[in-house]
Amino acid sequence: MRLELEKRAEHSTAMALLSPVIALALTLVSGAILFAALGENPAEALYVFFIEPLTASWSLQELVVKATPLILIGVGLAVCYLSNTWNIGGEGQFTAGALAGSVLPILFPDFQTPFTLPLMLLMGIAGGMAWAAIPAFLKVRFGTNEILTSLMLVYIALLLLDWLVRGPWRDPDGYNFPESRIFSDAASLPALADGRMHVGAIFALIAVAALAVVLMKSLKGFEIRVLGQAPRAGRFAGFSQNKMVWFAFLLSGGLAGLAGISEVSGSINQLTPVISPGYGFTAIIVAFLGRLNPIGILFSGLLLALSYLGGEAAQVALGISDKTTRVFQGMLLFYVLACDTLILYRIRLGGPAATGKGA
């Protein structure tokens, strides 16, 4: 006997909405088992991981700082996935945006005017869009699998960043450390409070509101959903799949680029070999946990940002590996996908498995 997945004739809307909550609950249970296996008190460890970071004002600001790029990248990826365009390269587009937007403060440090920061943001958006245009072109022109091309471009962008900060863009006054010069005040995003929280958080809220309106109230949103769910019907309606590939990639790449330059100019204020703990990949989890809905992504972005803070807190308080954050994020993605699969399919027992010998 073998297990088979059989497509359901109908699926429950209520379960589709509840599946992120179920996935989160299963992640917490699995996390408790994991902490117990590591010899820690599960209740204390979960408190340190998920509650303690919410008890201080500075950590709440850090929560917003870490959620900002996740939300910006996540809402762009949601448009891709809703239209059945599989952009996996948010991390590369984030890095490309950070590099493009950093050209002015690094190569032209004396250019300090009221136009410096707006130009940096525009260049960051353009850099992310240009990086996303590569897999879009290859997909439309040659039918290349966009999952592979967008993913491989991530590593090219990361290696380019590493080479620049260790070579041509290294700070001449930085005592040979692999980092760029510090950005001037004119090239830094204004802070929203007494801490690291900056106006990039406002960009994220604007992106959420704008895409919520586009997806729910506009013809473009209808086109995105139709091409994603019924491409043949979309073609009959006159919608172009190739144009949608370009639209989805450029939109998501631009938002990822904006996230990149916002992170660099708002939180770090220079380029270093590592400017992201993996925001572009984590944003994939954010998009699916938020049900590919901009409002849902706002809340799931905060939750995944909490996992970063919780991992740091657990490392300090409990002495466990910083890889715990990745474990929690991986479990959460697994349970989200598992719940979605069981919503669309039912498990049934099939006949005996084929032996590979003659019939």
How many residues can be counted in the chain?
359
Residue 63 has pLDDT above 60, yes or no: yes
pLDDT at residue 276, rounded to an integer = 93
Cα Rg, the chain, nearest whole Å: 22
Contacts 24+ apart (CB under 8 A), 12-16: 12/343, 15/339, 15/343, 16/291, 16/340, 16/343
Confidence category of residue 352, pLDDT binned at 50, 70, 90? low
pLDDT at residue 259, rounded to an integer = 97
Please write the tens of the pLDDT for every residue from 94-103. 999 999 999 9
pLDDT at residue 1, rounded to an integer = 63
Residue 293 has pLDDT above 90, yes or no: yes
Task: Give the distance, in angstroms, between the CA of residue 252 and the centroid of all CA atoms in the same chain.
Answer: 10
Please write the tens of the pLDDT for every residue from 223-257. 999 999 888 888 888 899 999 999 999 999 999 99
pLDDT at residue 124, rounded to an integer = 97
Residue 359 has pLDDT above 60, yes or no: no
The Cα angle at residue 354 between residues 350 and 358, in degrees rounded to 5: 145
Residue 347 has pLDDT above 60, yes or no: yes
Please write the tens of the pLDDT for every residue from 97-131. 999 999 999 999 999 999 999 999 999 999 999 99
The Cα angle at residue 123 between residues 181 and 288, in degrees rounded to 5: 105
Strand segments, DSSP code E, in 219-351 are 345-350
Compute the distance between CA of residue 195 and CA of residue 267 in angstroms, rounded to an integer.
Answer: 10
DSSP state of 182: P
Distances (CA, A) of 238 to 219, 227, 232, 241: 12, 10, 10, 10
Using the structure block, give the residue that is written with the tokens 């809340």: 299
**Which amino acid appears at position 92 of this protein?**
G
Residue 271 has pLDDT above 90, yes or no: yes
pLDDT at residue 14, rounded to an integer = 78
pLDDT at residue 351, rounded to an integer = 61
Say how many Å lie between the first and final Cα of the chain, rounded.
17
Q: CB under 8 Å to 15, separation ≥6 — which residues?
A: 339, 343
Residue 350 has pLDDT above 80, yes or no: no
Please write the tens of the pLDDT for every residue from 307-340. 889 888 888 888 887 778 888 888 988 898 888 8
Residue 18 has pLDDT above 90, yes or no: no
Residue 180 has pLDDT above 90, yes or no: yes
What pTM value is reported for the model?
A: 0.91
Compute the distance between CA of residue 294 and CA of residue 200 in angstroms, rounded to an integer.
Answer: 17
Residue 226's closest CA among 83, 81, 80, 76? 83
Confidence category of residue 354, pLDDT binned at 50, 70, 90? low
Residues 120 and 106 sit within 8 Å (Cβ to Cβ): no
Q: Is 356 left (phi over 0), alpha (psi -120 to 50) or beta?
A: left
Compute the distance between CA of residue 73 and CA of residue 247 in angstroms, rounded to an integer.
Answer: 15
Residue 64 has pLDDT above 50, yes or no: yes
Across residues 172-185, what is the average pLDDT?
A: 90
pLDDT at residue 100, rounded to an integer = 97
Distances (CA, A) of 180 to 78, 164, 168: 33, 9, 9
Confidence category of residue 61, pLDDT binned at 50, 70, 90? very high
Element (H, E) at 5: strand 2-7
The average confidence (pLDDT) of the chain is 90
Compute the distance between CA of residue 113 and CA of residue 116 in angstroms, rounded to an integer.
Answer: 5
